[in-house]
Amino acid sequence: MSGRSLWTPRRPILAVHTAIAVGLFGCGGDTAPTSTSGGGGSFSASIDGVAWTADASTAEARHSQPGKYILGGTKTTGTSQLGLEIDLYNIAAAGTYPLGVGDKVFGGVGWVTAASPPTYWLTPFSGTAGTVTITSLSDTRITGSFSYNAPAYTVIGNATGTKTVTGGTFDLPVKITGTVGAVAANAGGKMSAVVGGVPWNAANVTYNKASGNIQFTGDNTSYLVGINLASVTGTGTFNLTTSPLRILTVSGPATNPTGVNCCWGGTVGLVQDTIVTLKDVGSVTISTFSATRIAGTFGAVLAGVPNTVANGQLVVANGSFDIGIP
Q: How far apart, in whole angstroms, are the C-alpha atoms of residue 251 and residue 305?
A: 10
Q: How confident is the model at residue 162 (pLDDT cuts 50, 70, 90)?
A: very high
What pLDDT band is residue 64 in, cutting at 50, 70 and 90? Answer: very high
Tell me the C-alpha distance between 215 and 185, whole Å: 20
CB 94 within 8 A of CB 107: no
Q: Are residues 191 and 255 in the same domain?
A: yes
Question: Which of 152, 176, 200 is the C-terminal boundary of a domain?
Answer: 176
Instruction: Among 176, 211, 235, identify where a domain stops.
Output: 176
pLDDT for the residue 241: 95
pTM (predicted TM-score): 0.88
Burial class (CB in 10 A: 0-12, 13-18, 19+), 261: buried
Residues 195 and 172 occupy one common structural domain = no
* Section 156-178 average pLDDT: 96
pLDDT at 207: 97
> How does the average pLDDT of the chain come out, rounded?
87
Please provide the DSSP assignment of 104-140 as one string: TSSEEEEEEEETTTTEEEE--TTS-SEEEEEEEE-SS
Kindly state the helix (H) or strand (E) to which residue 298 belongs, with its residue range. strand 293-302
- 63 - beta bridge partners? 69, 176
18 inside domain: no
Lateral strand order in the sheet of 204-210: 204-210, 213-219, 224-230, 245-251, 241-242
**Closest CA relative to residue 132, chosen from 120, 143, 117, 140:** 143
pLDDT tens, residue by residue, 232-241: 999 999 999 9
Residue 117 has a pLDDT of 86
Judge whether residue 7 has pLDDT over 90: no
| Contact predicate 12/225, CB 8 Å | no
φ/ψ of 319, rounded to 5, equals -75, 145
Number of H helices, E strands in the chain: 1, 25
Residues 102 and 36 in one domain: yes
Kindly state whether residues 219 and 254 are assigned to the same domain.
Answer: yes
| Strand (E) or helix (H) holding 161 | none
What is the number of domains present in the chain? 2
Determine what percent of the chain is predicted with pLDDT higher than 70. Answer: 83
Q: Give the residue from 285, 269, 279 showing the smallest Cα distance to 249.
A: 279
pLDDT score, position 29: 34
Question: Which H or E run contains 260?
Answer: none
Give per-residue pLDDT as tens, 245-269. Answer: 999 999 986 555 555 557 899 888 6
Q: Is residue 20 in some structural domain?
A: no
User: Is 198 a member of any domain?
Assistant: yes
Alpha carbons 153 and 120: distance in angstroms, whole number: 5
Lowest mean pLDDT among 223-232, 253-262, 315-324: 253-262
Range of the domain at 163: 32-176
Which whole number is the average pLDDT over 193-209?
A: 96
Q: Is the dihedral of CA 121, 125, 131, 134 positive or negative?
A: positive
- Give strand pairing partners of 227: 216, 248
Write down which residue in 125, 144, 176 finishes a domain. 176
Mean pLDDT computed over 58-73: 96
Q: Please indicate, yes or no, if residue 140 is contained in any of the structural domains.
A: yes
Confidence label for 9 from pLDDT (cuts 50, 70 and 90): confident
Q: Is the pLDDT of residue 20 over 50?
A: no
273 is a domain residue: yes
pLDDT in tens, 266-290: 888 655 566 568 999 999 999 999 9
User: Does 39 share its domain with 171?
Assistant: yes
